[in-house]
Structure 1
Amino acid sequence: MTFRGGPELETVYDHARAEGHGFFASNVTTPEILVGLIRGAERTGSDVVLQLKRDTAEHVGAGDPAAGASIIGEYLRTIGENADVGVFLNVDHLRPGEEAFLDSCLDVGTPASVMIDASHEPFEENVRITREIRERLDARDDGILLEAELGTIEGEEGGVRTDEAFYTDPEEAVEFVDRSGCDLLAVSIGTEHGVSAGRDLDLRPDLAADIDRALRDHGLDVPLVVHGASGLEDDQIRRLLETGVCKFNKNTRYQYEYARTAHDFYAAHGDAIVPPEGVEDDREGFFADAEWSPRKAEFGPPVVIEEIRERIAEVMADLTHLTGSAGESLYADSSADE
């Protein structure tokens, strides 16, 4: 069994910090993306951190986030247990007031970690809310890790728009981690949620290094997390890996690859799907009276789904090499291609 929980994930992060590599924690918005991400990680022998947000669970559950959490959780458990690398799930960007959704996820038993985002609240309120989630997790006694955020990141996340970034202060970070009890800290250092370009960002690797140094000086060995990593350039990722960052959140890139792969596939196979000029577009009658007919071998959903899975796998494999996690799995079998 390689589907793992919080204690094993903590060991993975400790190993990453000691060896100087990191992970792209990847949001799952469809089962196709989930399968592709695990496939890519297996291909290079990297443990993989997947993420589930409430809006995704709500979509999968046809409007019921608890049902969606159960569906994704059981799907992930089944796929993850057969994987050749460690597979972990983080509940991403839980908002204050969404404790019922958190309980739904915890009841399924799949999360290894939870990210509470009260960064839009004043400092003391952020500490209070984060501490309450810490105590909620501790009551379960499952060793589930807690990630929190200090500072605000520009862009849109989960339908919430932030138009101005507020950088994380190193001394506030020390107080926040000490009082809240979080295991990982997401920091604001100039990235943006959504679609962004690394060259246009006012990225502050020096600030990440200062935060990491301040935490270590106070005996707080806490991995740093960078949200909004889809637009970062490769050199920026490598620089951040030197500063105490070992988790990068990525979501938008996979959604684009999903759409682009489907677009390219259907554009290349349009003649199998759309009738040629002069043939009536008889969708209701399914072209029963026409000499032309669509070709199921090219329009059947499994065909394009496999293309999407494979493209996502290629992207994930490349990302594991970028962050240095390729070949570093604590749970991979010896057949992985390092």
Structure 2
Amino acid sequence: MVFHDGTELASVYDDALEEGFGLVASNIAEPNTMIGLMEGAEQVESDLLLQMSNGACTFAGNGDPIAGLQAMGSYIETIAAQYDIGVFLNMDHQTDLDTIQRQVDLGVPSSIMIDASHEPFEENIERSRAVVEMIDEADADILVEAELGKIKGVEDEIVAEEAFYTDPEQAVEFVDRTGCDLLAISVGTQHGVAKGKDLELRPDLAGDIRTALRDHGLDTPLVLHGSSGVQPGQLQEMLQRGVCKVNKDTRYQYEYTRTAFDLYRSHTDEIVPPEGIADSRDTFFNDVEWSPNKDYFDPRVAGRQIRDRIAEVYADLATVAGSAGRSQFA
């Protein structure tokens, strides 16, 4: 097992570029999704890249994002030791340089994504370069992902009403001047709930960006954000054009809630009192014959089913992305 090591993660990306597969970067905010992802990755022998946004860290830390990162970082490291795969952690869509400095000082992440894509081009370069220099000065083994272009939709605290596609020549200048290790591009995907049939995807543009970078001696892995609505065939087109990190978040959120909902819906009469019986939770139904069934309301019951479902989903995604069977550490 490998955790929080940028050099080892870079090696995985090198393989992905050479072999034409992608690493599914999976967002988490709590343990059930995390453990389900580890189970799924182990099942198909894929290395696993977890992600946490600032909002997820704040949730996990009861309002304190750094406490959340520390708590989840320890949790990830402890549980990852049970698995024979590489497990990494990326900080997703970070915008505040002071927060990033604290993340670097902790030394927990394998990589950090600085998202200044909402800023003008020069400001984006300046802020992205500042993160690269921050990590260099700390001599930290952390990769830097930056973003050029805007992806439509809402991700954590970042809102974009419309997409702005990434320009290949600007991409070359951006990578050259910032020194970033990965580049997130805008090629028609969308954050949040989206359907592949409604997206104006540009795999040709991803190919143009990849070619322009390579023509300038920059073998930079490309990143696809907002991929939850992208269909398998669409994704595989992107993977053949230099995309080797594919972000997933919304899909897991839906599977989490849907799995719990299906369980509770199928056992409603054993969790919620039937019509005509008072919903007397304060007295735990002492005054009536009906009682709830702990076989279904114990949170661990739903939690285990959520973990199993997330594992299934990740295993399928890793197979489509081509990382299944390619772990460097299995």
Q: Give the TM-score of the pair, scaled to structure 2.
A: 0.98
SS of corresponding position for 1:149: strand
Query: What residue is the counterpart of 1:99 in the other structure?
Result: 97
Query: What residue is the counterpart of 2:3 in the other structure?
Result: 3
Q: Identity of paired residues, percent?
A: 55
Superposition pairs of residues 1-338 of structure 1, within 5 angstroms: 1-95=1-95, 98-332=96-330
| Corresponding letter in the other structure for 1:171 | E
SS of corresponding position for 1:131: helix
Post-superposition shift, 1:37? 0.7
Post-superposition shift, 1:99? 2.6
Post-superposition shift, 1:282? 1.1
Are the equivalent residues in 2 in contact too, given 1:77–1:110 (CA < 8 A)? no
Are the equivalent residues in 2 in contact too, given 1:272–1:294 (CA < 8 A)? yes
Are the equivalent residues in 2 in contact too, given 1:2–1:83 (CA < 8 A)? no
Cα distance in structure 2, aligned partners of 1:137 and 1:52: 19
SS of corresponding position for 1:111: coil
SS of corresponding position for 2:70: helix
Cα distance in structure 2, aligned partners of 1:179 and 1:141: 20
SS of corresponding position for 2:282: coil
Q: Which runs of 5+ in 2 are unaligned?
A: none
Post-superposition shift, 1:125? 0.8
Are the equivalent residues in 2 in contact too, given 1:29–1:52 (CA < 8 A)? yes
Q: Give the TM-score of the pair, scaled to structure 1.
A: 0.95
Deviation readout 1:54-101 (Å, 9 max, x if unpaired) = 011111111111111111111111112222100000011001xx2332
Deviation readout 1:204-251 (Å, 9 max, x if unpaired) = 000000000000010000000010000101110011111010111111
How many residue pairs match? The answer is 330
Deviation readout 1:259-300 (Å, 9 max, x if unpaired) = 100110100111211112232211110011211111112100
Cα distance in structure 2, aligned partners of 1:13 and 1:54: 24
Cα distance in structure 1, aligned partners of 2:21 and 2:211: 17
SS of corresponding position for 1:88: strand
Are the equivalent residues in 2 in contact too, given 1:116–1:133 (CA < 8 A)? yes
Are the equivalent residues in 1 in contact too, given 2:144–2:180 (CA < 8 A)? yes
Which consecutive aligned stretches of 4+ in structure 1 deviate over 6 angstroms post-superposition?
none
SS of corresponding position for 1:225: strand
Cα distance in structure 2, aligned partners of 1:106 and 1:76: 17
Are the equivalent residues in 1 in contact too, given 2:255–2:306 (CA < 8 A)? yes
Deviates more, 1:184-193 or 1:61-70: 61-70
